[in-house]
Structure 1
């Protein structure tokens, strides 16, 4: 068991709850369009499922705790790849499927991510979600 400070756990619970709540609405937009949102129609599914943002936040917090507040970037990248391999259906962006598979297969993360989007790195907001 990892000893995580209470404030960090509270933050993670809030992140996971908000992430799962928000993720339910993406399905409504895809299937029913914006009118369902405007009418405040609740999603019918009983299951709330958190996304890749929470999955990767959990890995980051584990890394911070185990590293005494210091992030080992190699171990973090491998942790992200392992979490992805355990559950590939958490809403990862299209390019992240390739990135995390390649890191999990042993390619150096620095080379893999440097090649994304013509060498520009990620154009997503995942880092902001985990901050």
Structure 2
């Protein structure tokens, strides 16, 4: 085989690894159903609720008591994540909160992390502007 073929094989392998890495599960991430989420929310002093959506999304609609740390800032390490409480992440659909969990897991191996599976869309309660 010539050099070009080896280069193509190498790039293919790298591509497969990157795809796998983006879809693999986050280690020790708890996926909360609506019922699990509501149960954890009964003890607000034990958790930090983080909305990972953009600020304009947060201003339009958010869960009462949540702090807004956008995913983009979490990725760039521009926010200070509290490590003394359990962390619950949420977004609109659950995709960004899972990405945020992946980033946080790399930085904090033992941090108790959960995310709202399905995001705000999974909550059956009525949405009101400014809070949920």
TM-score by length of 1: 0.27
Answer 1 or 2: which has greater strand percent. Answer: 2
Highest RCO, 1 vs 2 (Cα 8 Å, sep ≥ 6): 2
1 or 2, which has the higher helix percentage? 1
Q: Could you state the TM-score of these two structures normalised by the residue count of structure 2?
A: 0.27
Which has the larger Rg?
Answer: 2
